[in-house]
Amino acid sequence: MSQGGPDRRISRLDVARGLFLAAAIGFGWWGLRGYREEIVEALGQVGPEQVALAGVLVLAGLAVTGAVWRRILAGYGHAVAV
C-alpha cells in the first residue's frame, strides 16, 4: 500500500461530495428561480406541523431506502459498514 493512499482517496471523495451537493443546490435554484411568488404563496398555506411531519416522513423514507440498499448489497457479497 502506498504512503497516504487511503487519505488521498477520502479527500477526493469529500471533494466529489461537495461538488455534487453544490451542483444539486445550484440546479435546484436554477429550476425554481422564476417561481418565487408561487413558492411564497404555497408556503403561506402550509402550517409548521405539516412541514415537520413532511420532514419526518422524508427522513424515514431515506432511512428505509438506505437499509434496503445495505441488505441488497450484502446479498451480493458487498457488506457496507454503517
What is the tens place of the pLDDT at every residue in 49-71? 999 999 999 999 999 999 999 99
Query: Average per-residue pLDDT in the chain?
Result: 88
- Give the integer Cα–Cα distance in Å for 11 and 46: 41
**Do 1 and 37 lie in a common domain?**
yes
Q: Name the strand (E) or helix (H) holding 47.
A: none
- Please identify which residue in the block is written with the cell numbers 477520502: 10
What does pTM read for this prediction? 0.57
**Do 54 and 41 lie in a common domain?**
no
- Give the integer Cα–Cα distance in Å for 49 and 76: 41
Range of the domain at 14: 1-45
**Do 1 and 40 lie in a common domain?**
yes
